[in-house]
Amino acid sequence: MSAITQTEEANLQLDTQGFAIVVDGLRKRYGSLVAVDGISFRVKEREIFGLLGPNGAGKTTTVEILEGLRQTDEGRVLVAGIDVRKVPDKVKGVIGVQLQSSAFFDGLSLLELLDLFAALYGRSVDAMALLEKVDLKEKARSNVNKLSGGQKQRFSIATALVNEPKILFLDEPTTGLDPQARRNLWELAQAIRTEGRTIVLTTHYMDEAETLCDRVAIMDHGKILAMEPPDLLIQRLLDKGFHSQRVERSANLEDVFLDMTGHGLREG
Amino acid sequence: MLTWSSLKAYFRNRGAIFFSLLVPLMIMGIFGLINFGNGTPTVNIGIVDQANNQVSQRIVSSLQGIKAVKLHRGGLDSEKHELQQGNRDLVAILPPSVGQGSTAITAYYNQGNPQNSQVALAIMNQFVDRASFAFAGISPALTLDTKPVQSRNLTYVDFLVPGMIALSIMQTGLFGVVFTFVQWKQRGILRRLMATPMRVRDFFFSQLVTRLTTVALQIAVLLAVGLFLFHFHFAGNLLYLLIVGIIGGGIFLAMGLAISGASKSEETAAPIANLVSLPLMFLSGIFFSRSNMPEWLQTITQYSPLTYVSDALRSISIDGASLWAIRTDLLGIFIWLAIAVVIATRLFKWEVV
């Protein structure tokens, strides 16, 4: 390696310090379709970063590249300082992944599954403590298919935490959940961030992004249209003279729903 | 750890275990009870004509006239060999002196299959009585000397059990793998595993161990049922049987992986798996001997992977063959294994694209 590239490497180290994820000029094609069209962004450490966009915008592809599940065509991707392109397996070791359709082997209990996942990372884990964290201690010996939707998502997050990941990827974690379960999951996400982990979240729920995310990137057609804290994006829109058709009140229907049915979780 | 979890998960699925054993057992039960092989009432008589004169030819042609007799003509050694193989119920020797005064016809009969050999003996006795008067006039010129011969007596079950073992090896490999993998792929289980630093070869190793354990279990159960319920004559080495079963299982595992790799859903995977398994099932001599097929079909089907496996299993369990004795079958099995593995690595995909 020449002296110049060594300096570049050194600059890169400085450049990327304090960032959990660095993406520069990422491009990905499927045949003639450009799924991700040269995007660049950075996710700060301990940040909850939202990736928003309609279906087909390219956010799933982006996330899958960050997770080491897909090859990149062009661009530089560093996850926890590791080049995903060069050592995807090393990246997999320091991140936690909760997938949209997370199913698990039938026939194993939650405890056994957590032990299994820990083994896949080459470590052992206090499975019971992990289940306690996601409020599933009573279900420790059950099968996954005996869990409710919210419980499944929480268990899925527990499996993503077995390796004490620096960065946690949550892919539409609250889709299909009732309001109580959603709020419960938000609390879990915030608790995980408090432990010092970075969270990358994709969601179709704008209220979720608004509540949880420090910053969001809005994607469409493989490009990032905007990347700011939610409040700032809203303020910008208002500054342009935007007026909602809807009459804003200080409470909405969800507040009514939760007021009547309570915040307690409804799960068998 | 992955292997252990996979075994645990698999064997907790009692339904799957039950069916992986039930189907071959059911087929064995049905075919074993019907007992196709022993349905024919004809007796096989071998004639060794050492005289080959007018009189002996008349004896042969009159024997041929008896409906229940299937007459085979041949040399002494070959006919005696056939008798030992259980393919003749009785072998009668017409000495050169037939037609020249009092002559003894020697008849060897199969004492291990008394039902048929008694019929053959009765026919011969009657025939000799009648013939001797007719040929020689006053006194019985021909007498019958009978000598018992012990031979192995294969029943249809002896043919069927190794075939059933081969069949269940194929079904476990193909369908077991195809359905689980396609399901895992669709439900995102494989994707979730790929998001961990799991090594791919660990994953396949765990699957291999799980399936091959099932295969070994199936062999044991089928063998036990064959031995205790159907009086299966097992003459071979159990270890050899397991070795061939497990290597053969590998072929169908790889085929199953290839099919689940190529198909996106269970709806497409099931017909493909059937398309592979049904012809193999009926053309590989599982239920019936391939010798009943037209010759051109025999030529083709001798190269079927299931033929190699079932022939090898049959040679081991019936003839007590060593691995060296079945080296041709083993070679065929290994070639198929190589082909299947290559196809599987080409076609297998981790996710629904």
Q: Is the pLDDT of residue A8 over 70?
A: no
Distance from CA of A55 to the nearest CA of B (A): 16
Measured between CB atoms, which of B12, B189, B194 is closest to A103? B189
Contacts of B193 in chain A (CB under 8 A): 120
Distance from CA of B213 to the nearest CA of A (A): 17
Q: pLDDT tens digits for A108-162?
A: 889 989 998 898 888 888 999 999 999 899 998 998 888 888 899 999 999 999 9
Contacts of B1 in chain A (CB under 8 A): 115-116, 119-120
Distance from CA of A264 to the nearest CA of B (A): 30
B317: phi > 0 → left, psi -120 to 50 → alpha, else beta; which? alpha
DSSP code for A143: B
- State which residues of chain B have pLDDT below 70: 11-16, 32, 34-41, 67, 131-144, 146-154, 350-353
Question: A97–B195: do the CB atoms touch at under 8 Å?
Answer: yes
Q: Does residue B195 belong to the interface with chain A, where contact is any CB pair within 8 Å?
A: yes
More confident residue, A193 or B70: A193
Q: Does residue B200 belong to the interface with chain A, where contact is any CB pair within 8 Å?
A: no
Question: B197–A89: do the CB atoms touch at under 8 Å?
Answer: yes
Question: A108–B198: do the CB atoms touch at under 8 Å?
Answer: no
Q: What is the dihedral of CA B19, B21, B25, B27, to 10 degrees?
A: 50
What's the CA gap between B337 and B351, in Å, rounded?
Answer: 24
Give the per-residue pLDDT at B65.
Answer: 74
Q: Does residue B10 belong to the interface with chain A, where contact is any CB pair within 8 Å?
A: yes
For A91, name the nearest residue in chain B, comparing CA atoms only. Answer: B197
Distance from CA of B256 to the nearest CA of A (A): 19
Measured between CB atoms, which of B189, B191, B197 is closest to A120? B197
For B5, name the nearest residue in chain A, comparing CA atoms only. Answer: A116
What's the CA gap between A25 and A7, in Å, rounded?
Answer: 21
Contacts of B13 in chain A (CB under 8 A): 106-107
Mean pLDDT value across residues A14-27: 84
Question: A108–B2: do the CB atoms touch at under 8 Å?
Answer: no
Contacts of B198 in chain A (CB under 8 A): 120
CA distances from A100 to A54, A181, B96 (A): 15, 16, 90
Q: What ipTM was predicted for this assembly?
A: 0.82
Those residues of chain A whose CB sits closer than 8 Å to some CB in chain B are 67-69, 89-90, 92-93, 97, 99-108, 112, 115-117, 119-122, 159
List, as one string, the DSSP characters of A77-99.
Answer: EEETTEETTT-HHHHHHHEEEE-
Distance from CA of B243 to the nearest CA of A (A): 29
Contacts of B5 in chain A (CB under 8 A): 105, 108, 112, 115-116, 119
Question: B197–A105: do the CB atoms touch at under 8 Å?
Answer: no
Contacts of A89 in chain B (CB under 8 A): 197
Q: pLDDT tens digits for B42-60?
A: 778 888 888 888 878 877 8
Contacts of A104 in chain B (CB under 8 A): 189, 192
CATH class of A16-245: alpha beta
Q: Which of A116, A156, A200 has the highest number of chain B CBs within 10 A, making it the mutation to test binding with B?
A: A116
Distance from CA of A223 to the nearest CA of B (A): 22
Distance from CA of A104 to the nearest CA of B (A): 6
**Low-confidence winner among A80-84, A103-107, A256-260, B302-306 (lowest mean pLDDT):** A103-107
What's the CA gap between A143 and A58, in Å, rounded?
Answer: 34
Q: Which amino acid is at A98?
A: Q
Question: B196–A117: do the CB atoms touch at under 8 Å?
Answer: yes
The answer to whether the CB of B241 falls within 8 A of the CB of B320 is no
Q: What are the residue boundaries of the structural domains of chain A, listed by start?
A: 16-245
Question: A97–B13: do the CB atoms touch at under 8 Å?
Answer: no
Q: pLDDT tens digits for A24-39?
A: 999 999 988 899 999 9
Distance from CA of A118 to the nearest CA of B (A): 10
Give the per-residue pLDDT at B39.
Answer: 45
For B187, name the nearest residue in chain A, comparing CA atoms only. Answer: A103
Q: Does residue B346 belong to the interface with chain A, where contact is any CB pair within 8 Å?
A: no
Q: Is the pLDDT of residue A191 over 90?
A: yes
Contacts of B8 in chain A (CB under 8 A): 107-108, 112
Question: B187–A101: do the CB atoms touch at under 8 Å?
Answer: yes
Question: A103–B192: do the CB atoms touch at under 8 Å?
Answer: yes
Question: A112–B8: do the CB atoms touch at under 8 Å?
Answer: yes
Give the pLDDT band of residue A186 (cuts 50, 70, 90): very high
Q: Which amino acid is at B37?
A: G
Rounded to two decimals, the pTM is: 0.72
- In sequence order, the 6+-apart residues with CB closer than 8 A to the CB of B339 are none
Distance from CA of B176 to the nearest CA of A (A): 15
Q: Is the pLDDT of residue A21 over 90?
A: yes
Measured between CB atoms, which of A99, A112, A122 is closest to B195? A99
Give the pLDDT band of residue A193 (cuts 50, 70, 90): very high
Q: Is the pLDDT of residue A22 over 90?
A: yes
What's the CA gap between A201 and A153, in Å, rounded?
Answer: 14
Distance from CA of A98 to the nearest CA of B (A): 8
Q: Which two tokens stand for residue A71?
A: 């090859």
Give the per-residue pLDDT at B34.
Answer: 67
The answer to whether the CB of A219 falls within 8 A of the CB of A36 is no
What's the CA gap between B349 and A135, in Å, rounded?
Answer: 36
Q: Is the pLDDT of residue A198 over 90?
A: yes
Which of residues 148 through 187 in chain B touch A, CB cutoff 8 A?
A: 184, 187
